[in-house]
A and B are shown apart, each in its own frame.
Chain A
Amino acid sequence: MTRAVQGEELAGYVRQKFPDAVCQWKGESLWIEPSDLREVAEFLRDEPDLDFKFLNSVSAVDYVQYFEVVYHLTSLEHNHSAVVKTRLYSREAPTAQSVVAVWPGADFQEREIYDLMGVSFEGHPNLKRIMLWEGFPGHPQRRDFEDVVTY
């Protein structure tokens, strides 16, 4: 069975190295400051006790007051998993740090979030729309998106 590393346990590891990076934890989730995301990601990957070398998925959720970017991680070595989240409070230009340099598998997923949710990723090598065409008005996955197409 894959063991879910609880947020509290994970926070203990992260706070040793980055005292200010942790916002909060609850259950299996750990919230990280967006400005520390990339460094923490690198730490989670390289710390031998954690060894999160496999990034399962990157998701974004629009909670209207803020956007939440969610990273599901797995260690193939220890067979345990973790959920790391970060909150972005800007509605006009939400920006998170890109983790493509840490986990190349995030490439298409970050592009998809940029396309559909309108969250930019700083440091992404090729950040452009992936599903929709350039010039599409708005980001359809947002809760307040209104279809502009008329028939």
Chain B
Amino acid sequence: MAIRTEPVTINIGPQHPSTHGVLRLRVTFDGEVIVDVEPVFGYLHRGSEKLAEERNYVQVLTLTDRLDYVASMTNNQAYCIAVEKMLGVEAPLRGQYLRVLAAELQRAASHLVATGFLLQDLGALATPLMYCFRFREKILDLFEMLCGARITVSYMRPGGVFSDAPPDFWPALDDLMQEAPHLIQELEQLLMKNEIVLVRTKNVGVLSAESAIASSVSGPVLRASGVAWDWRKMDPYDIYDRLEFDVPVGERGDNYDRFRVRIEEVKQSLRIVEQCRDEIHPGPVRADVDAEAIDLVLERRGEAEKPLAEGPVRAELPFVLRPPAGAEAYGRVEAPKGELAFYLVSDGSIAPYRCKIRSPSLINLTVLRELLVGWKLADMIVTLGSIDINMGEVDR
């Protein structure tokens, strides 16, 4: 007598430790094998794009911290670049160096979180996670010195950064850079040749380059599939064209490649930080503008609007910005999760008319179904971890 079987649909999340936030997956199984996956979003939807329409350009910056909250620096950077494009201003060199330095430290921190939780999902409870977080903690301490905050940093501003690094930041950075190779080596020794890690991740969840490109996948997930596409190299912003670094790529596009590409990228980020530290020169950290270009300046917050001296007077970029009506900009950076962009449209007022956020986490999830169908439940958790999503950014 044949045993009657039927597919079973079960619900994973939204409250589940391996969904990296509040993602809900409606998964259909045939036995233990996945036959269909439907992600359900929206549990962390705060309407950031709508909120941005009612705040002025500098205030919106605080909303960007709360998108991908383990990589706030790069969120700040993408937004600032978009606003600068609209205004036609450029951050001064020291400001750009500080931005890149902070962004690369952030990339290392974010990849460490991704790696730690991936191993947590593999069942290596707490130990690798603590190794990663010990390293990340040191980076967050540096952020605290830079801007007083560790997670929601709001460090950058359109036109540069809000303040220069304090004097004791540089020795602290030196200490970290001295320690970092040792910390990375320790992680690699612990993980890269670990048999359980290899067996569970190699050839699991393979993503081809063609389907990654067609599905608009970006960041480490795209590079793990063998496409050497990094916006820092292909469309350099800030000072990336002055820096030397490699773009690590994977061979097969499986979970192991995604994991390895992130570890390699941490090393490259530290290389960039080192170059920034050595090359940075004293100077202003925020753009100044011609004070006569008053259409850019709405309020000088109590200061006299008319320049007192003869000749052109430079003034710091004001708090309230007013890009010309009809201006639009697509500001893009290579965030730790992928291509993060802000599409801003101005109507000439002090608040953006439209602020669309191109979120890499949401778009990378497009391939989730393709990666999971045919694999078992236990692989699902690992594959989801290897895509590295952040629900603050998926739902916005």
Chain A positions within 8 Å of B, measured between CB atoms, are: 1-2, 53-57, 59-62, 70, 72, 76, 79, 83, 103-109, 112, 116, 129-133, 140-141
**Complex: A106 Cα to B345 Cα, angstroms:** 21
Most chain B CB neighbours (cut-off 10 Å) among A83, A104, A105: A105
Indicate if B45 sits at the interface (CB-CB under 8 A). Answer: yes
Q: Is the CB of B353 within 8 A of A105?
A: no
**Complex: A103 Cα to B58 Cα, angstroms:** 34
Within 8 A of A (CB), among B208-229: 211, 213-217, 227, 229
**What is the CB-to-nearest-CB distance from A5 to chain B, in angstroms, rounded to a whole number?**
14
Residues of the A chain whose Cβ atoms lie less than 8 Å from the Cβ of B362: 108-109, 112
Knowing A54-B216, A70-B343, A140-B50, say if A79 contacts B358 (CB, 8 Å).
no
Q: How many residue-residue contacts, CB under 8 A, span A and B?
A: 83
Q: Is the CB of A140 within 8 A of B42?
A: no
**Complex: A103 Cα to B216 Cα, angstroms:** 8
List 11 other contacts, CB 8 Å, given A57-B216, A57-B358, A141-B49: A54-B213, A56-B332, A56-B341, A56-B358, A61-B345, A61-B354, A61-B356, A72-B343, A76-B227, A132-B45, A133-B42
Q: Is the CB of B330 within 8 A of A109?
A: no
Residue of B whose beta carbon sits closest to that of A60: B356
Instruction: Among B42, B216, B363, point to the contact of A130 (Cβ < 8 A).
Output: B42
Residues of the A chain whose Cβ atoms lie less than 8 Å from the Cβ of B211: 104
Instruction: Among A57, A59, A72, A108, point to the contact of B365 (Cβ < 8 A).
Output: A108
**Complex: A112 Cα to B332 Cα, angstroms:** 20
**What is the CB-to-nearest-CB distance from A116 to chain B, in angstroms, rounded to a whole number?**
8
Residues of the A chain whose Cβ atoms lie less than 8 Å from the Cβ of B363: 57, 105, 108-109
Residues of the A chain whose Cβ atoms lie less than 8 Å from the Cβ of B330: 56, 72, 83
Indicate if B366 sits at the interface (CB-CB under 8 A). Answer: yes
Knowing A61-B353, A72-B330, A130-B41, say if A108 contacts B213 (CB, 8 Å).
no
If over half of A's interface residues share one DSSP class (helix, strand or loop), that class is named, otherwise mixed; here it is: mixed
**What are 8 inter-chain pairs, A to B, with CB distance below 8 A?**
A2-B235, A57-B343, A61-B353, A62-B354, A76-B227, A129-B42, A140-B47, A141-B50
Knowing A57-B341, A76-B227, A140-B47, say if A108 contacts B366 (CB, 8 Å).
yes
Indicate if B395 sits at the interface (CB-CB under 8 A). Answer: yes
Residues of the B chain whose Cβ atoms lie less than 8 Å from the Cβ of A56: 216, 330, 332, 339, 341, 358
Within 8 A of A (CB), among B375-396: 395-396
**What is the CB-to-nearest-CB distance from B24 to chain A, in angstroms, rounded to a whole number?**
12
**Complex: A131 Cα to B394 Cα, angstroms:** 9
Chain B positions within 8 Å of A, measured between CB atoms, are: 41-42, 45, 47, 49-50, 211, 213-217, 227, 229, 234-236, 330, 332, 339, 341, 343, 345, 353-354, 356, 358, 362-363, 365-366, 395-396
Instruction: Among B41, B216, B236, B395, point to the contact of A105 (Cβ < 8 A).
Output: B216
Q: Is the CB of A104 within 8 A of B236?
A: no
Residues of the B chain whose Cβ atoms lie less than 8 Å from the Cβ of A129: 42
Residue of B whose beta carbon sits closest to that of A142: B50
Most chain B CB neighbours (cut-off 10 Å) among A61, A83, A116, A131: A131
**Complex: A2 Cα to B211 Cα, angstroms:** 22
Residues of the B chain whose Cβ atoms lie less than 8 Å from the Cβ of A70: 343
Q: Is the CB of A107 within 8 A of B356?
A: no
Q: Is the CB of A107 within 8 A of B366?
A: yes
Residues of the B chain whose Cβ atoms lie less than 8 Å from the Cβ of A54: 213, 216
**Complex: A79 Cα to B228 Cα, angstroms:** 12
Residues of the A chain whose Cβ atoms lie less than 8 Å from the Cβ of B217: 105
**What is the CB-to-nearest-CB distance from B351 to chain A, in angstroms, rounded to a whole number?**
12
Residues of the A chain whose Cβ atoms lie less than 8 Å from the Cβ of B41: 108, 130-131
**Complex: A129 Cα to B40 Cα, angstroms:** 10
Residues of the B chain whose Cβ atoms lie less than 8 Å from the Cβ of A59: 343, 354, 356, 358
Residues of the A chain whose Cβ atoms lie less than 8 Å from the Cβ of B216: 54-57, 103-106
Residue of B whose beta carbon sits closest to that of A109: B363
Residues of the A chain whose Cβ atoms lie less than 8 Å from the Cβ of B365: 108
Residues of the B chain whose Cβ atoms lie less than 8 Å from the Cβ of A55: 216
**Complex: A123 Cα to B102 Cα, angstroms:** 44
**What is the CB-to-nearest-CB distance from B44 to chain A, in angstroms, rounded to a whole number?**
9
Instruction: Among A2, A72, A104, A141, point to the contact of B214 (Cβ < 8 A).
Output: A104
Residues of the A chain whose Cβ atoms lie less than 8 Å from the Cβ of B50: 116, 140-141
